[in-house]
Homo-oligomer: A and B are copies of this chain.
């Protein structure tokens, strides 16, 4: 850490800062400039709390020099991680192609949609059985019945399945059925839930919160990693913006910005990011061009009957067309798309 003292810091305050640092078993390196005094702290920074240092009288700013997300950092793991979802790889040159409806609905529809996205080239099937809905009066998901449908459909078409978990009490149950656990944007800083999914061995799809900085996202990933689960895939799905023309603001630069800081894979979700079917294909392609390790797209065969988020789903034909373009881009950028696994792990 580096402490920048206030221009009016008194000699007593400077002495107090140094004592404080030394009382923690660290060395303080004083540098008096023309206008400001700087204290460099030498030693094991992990013992220090930025907040407490900022509370010491006379301290103006605290500049950390090490990232606070240790396990997620490139310093800890310089090579890109590859996350294996029951045989489908994401990261390190492998693109995850996740598709499916927002919510799990009746089994027939799930079969139809799964078949269509599998035929189009998706290698992971998604659907929500527990839906975090803004309104208490909206459809909340089919619960365990939905999980059963998902599992059956995944098995039939040979696709690993991804589904959201919203309640720490359900983590074990969801992990029994699903190949990958999704933590949604609204739960990105639900640390209780992160801790529970960190205790499982299922890969986790961690969506960025709407007001989360990239550092916040990595800190949330760190919660999962620090519990012993190294299989985290990040997801940029749009942040809060001021223009209501799109549902959220797709921060495509987050893809390379994340890759400059962490070894974890990052995919994009243009469905939630834009909320408009006409914008999903260009944004999906933009995501791959920016280096994303996969694309998550909502697909429904009759959006006006969808139990949730119909307006942001592609029709199966539209997904097929998009998937073709995504494969062309993948080839251009020398990315691989895992085939469906022989057998689900």
Contacts and interface: CB of A to CB of B under 8 A. Distances in A.
Interface in A196-217: 209-211, 213-216
Most buried by B among A239, A245, A274, A288: A245
Interface string A38-81: 10111111100101101111000101011010100001000000
Interface stretch (A118-126, A146-154, A298-306, A337-345): A298-306
A219 B137 CA distance: 10
Interface stretch (A87-95, A109-117, A173-181, A182-190): A182-190
A52 B133 contact: no
Contact of A286 (B29, B227, B286): B286
Contact of A189 (B186, B274, B290, B308): B186
Given A190-B187, A192-B167, A310 B31 contact: no
A4 B63 contact: yes
A25 interface: no
Given A190-B187, A250-B253, A310-B51, A66 B35 contact: yes
A120 B267 CA distance: 31
Band of interface residues on A: 35 or more
A132 interface: yes
A213 B136 contact: no
A245 B226 contact: no
Given A33-B42, A239-B241, A285 B290 contact: yes
B226 A136 contact: yes
Contacts of A10: none
Nearest to A38: B40
Contacts of A285: 289-290
Contacts of A43: 34
A232 interface: no
Contacts of A132: 189, 191
Contact of A213 (B65, B245, B306): B245
A3 B274 CA distance: 21
A109 B308 CA distance: 50
A283 B279 contact: no
A240 interface: yes
Given A214-B245, A306-B55, A311-B54, A31 B35 contact: no
Contacts of A257: 245-246, 276, 279
7 contacts: A31-B40, A46-B137, A51-B308, A51-B310, A52-B310, A166-B191, A260-B278
Given A33-B42, A54-B310, A282-B290, 11 more contacts: A34-B43, A38-B40, A63-B63, A134-B189, A134-B219, A166-B192, A241-B241, A250-B253, A253-B274, A260-B279, A286-B286
